[in-house]
Amino acid sequence: MKFCDTELDAPLNRADRFSLQTREKGIMMNAIAANGLQKSFGDVEALRGVNLRVDDGEFYALMGPNGSGKTTLVSILASVITPTSGKAEIFGRKPQEARNMIGFVPQGSFSSPMLTGRENLVYFAQLFGYSKNEAEKIASEQLLKMGLSEAADRLVSDYSGGMRKKLEVATALFPEVRLLILDEPSTGLDPSARKNFLGMIEEVNSTGVTVLCVTHIGEDAEIASKVGFMDEGVIIAEDKPEMLKRNSGLEKVLHAETSIKKEAIANVLVEYSDDRRILETEKGYRICCNNPEEAIPDISRQLDRLGCKLLRIETSNPSLEDVFYKLTDKSVRRV
């Protein structure tokens, strides 16, 4: 990747100079500072007093189930909507005044399928305020960085999901952007495209761009330097991913794939769960079990008696999704 080289060679842009000045003055700048953010839509309280600090250059992942308020929070930070009460600042400014420092990639696919990748980038760069010539130059650089140069002049309708997502991140990464906000960016990508895409986001972050990434996929959040768990309109916990797992008290997680799924099966498994809770997954169940070696033979016998076959059983270290479940009794993924 050419991110670092290009950035080092490039002259300092306005945002770089701003960042450098604050560092020289010894001011520790928060990329994001939100205090007591509340947002209501009619009777529905989407945010109930969110406090959030994200340092300049940090990669912060925000995890939570559907309806927990993640999108509302990032919409406020990206200046798309205003809070009912509370205060949000992006690099010390109101979000509306920091629009030229924010790159926002909302859910969905907003690039025009009837334009080429290059035309889309030129269009967004011009909307961002660059002249046509500057926009064309920036578009070429961005296409090169994202590895889309070869596909630059193809219509976006011919792009794969991963290519389209990369293009849309490129539309949010103009030279002045210091904060990249991504709302569920890897949704709909296959595992390989997702891995590739997340690698690219890590590269972006390594150039000094602060990243706030909303996700409900634990693996996506693992690469962040800090993870915040959001539930029912508030951030209930935040820390480094390893610390969240370490402090959860979880040691091992047992995944059981069963031939049938019914309450009686769940009742057997829950007996072996350390916290007496069980999470239903797409193919079976997941429980926290610190002594899986002892539990597995017993579980197998008991399920056999109920006429249920144990198709697969395996143990693993707890994921961030397991930690979230332990904290909230909710799955971040819809089952």
Partner 1 sequence: MGQMSAVTEKVLKEFIRDKMVLLWTFAVPVFFLLIVPFIDAGNMPTEVMPGLKAFATIAMITLLIMTACQANLAGSIASDTQRGLYLKMTSMPVKAWKEGVGRFLGILIFSLLGTVLLAFLGFSYGAQFTLNPVTLVESSIFLMLICFASTGMGLTIASFVKGESAATHTGVALSLLTFFCGGMAVPYAALPSALQVFARIHPISSANAAIAFLLVGESFAGYNPLSISQTSLTTAISIAIFAVGLTLYSEYCWKKN
Sign of CA dihedral 73, 79, 84, 85: positive
Site residues (CB under 8 A) for partner 1, limited to 163-202: 171, 181
Name the token pair of 37. 């953010």
**Taking CB under 8 A as the rule, does residue 106 contact partner 1?**
yes
8: helix, strand or coil:
helix
Q: Which candidate, 101, 103, 69, 64, places its Cα nearest to that of 86?
A: 69
47: helix, strand or coil:
strand
Cα separation, 230 vs 307, in Å, equals: 39
**Taking CB under 8 A as the rule, does residue 128 contact partner 1?**
yes
**Taking CB under 8 A as the rule, does residue 102 contact partner 1?**
yes
Residue 46 CB, nearest approach to partner 1 (Å): 16
**Which residue among 107, 149, 206, 225 contacts partner 1 (CB under 8 A)?**
107
- Output phi, psi for 260, to 5 deg: -130, 155
Contacts of 333 (CB under 8 A, 6+ apart): 65, 216, 217, 321
DSSP 215-284: ES-HHHHHTSSEEEEEETTEEEEEE-HHHHHHHTT---EEEEEES---HHHHHHHHTT-TTS--EE-SSE
**Taking CB under 8 A as the rule, does residue 18 contact partner 1?**
no
Q: Are 323 and 248 spatial neighbours (Cβ–Cβ below 8 Å)?
A: yes
Residue 315 CB, nearest approach to partner 1 (Å): 40
Of 26-34, 75-83, 222-230, 252-260, the window that binds partner 1 (rule: CB under 8 A) is: 75-83
Cα separation, 320 vs 318, in Å, equals: 7
In the bound state with partner 1, the residue whose beta carbon lies nearer, of 111 and 302, is: 111
Contacts of 13 (CB under 8 A, 6+ apart): 175, 176
State the burial class of residue 25 (Cβ atoms within 10 Å of its Cβ: 0-12, 13-18, 19+). exposed
Residue 192 CB, nearest approach to partner 1 (Å): 25
Residue 163 CB, nearest approach to partner 1 (Å): 16
**Taking CB under 8 A as the rule, does residue 79 contact partner 1?**
yes
**Taking CB under 8 A as the rule, does residue 99 contact partner 1?**
yes
Question: How many residues make contact with partner 1 (CB under 8 A)?
Answer: 33
Residue 211 CB, nearest approach to partner 1 (Å): 15
Residue 57 CB, nearest approach to partner 1 (Å): 21
In the bound state with partner 1, the residue whose beta carbon lies nearer, of 113 and 199, is: 113
Residue 131 CB, nearest approach to partner 1 (Å): 6
**Which residue among 6, 22, 84, 109 contacts partner 1 (CB under 8 A)?**
109
44: helix, strand or coil:
strand
**Taking CB under 8 A as the rule, does residue 159 contact partner 1?**
no
Site residues (CB under 8 A) for partner 1, limited to 129-158: 129-132, 135, 155
**Taking CB under 8 A as the rule, does residue 210 contact partner 1?**
no
**Taking CB under 8 A as the rule, does residue 40 contact partner 1?**
no
**Taking CB under 8 A as the rule, does residue 247 contact partner 1?**
no
**Which residue among 59, 91, 124, 325 contacts partner 1 (CB under 8 A)?**
124
**H helical segments located in the chain:** 3-9, 14-24, 70-77, 117-128, 132-145, 161-170, 191-206, 218-222, 241-247, 263-270, 292-305, 320-328
Residue 105 CB, nearest approach to partner 1 (Å): 8
Question: Applying CB under 8 A, which residues contact partner 1?
Answer: 75, 78-80, 99-100, 102, 104-112, 114-115, 119, 122-124, 126-132, 135, 155, 171, 181
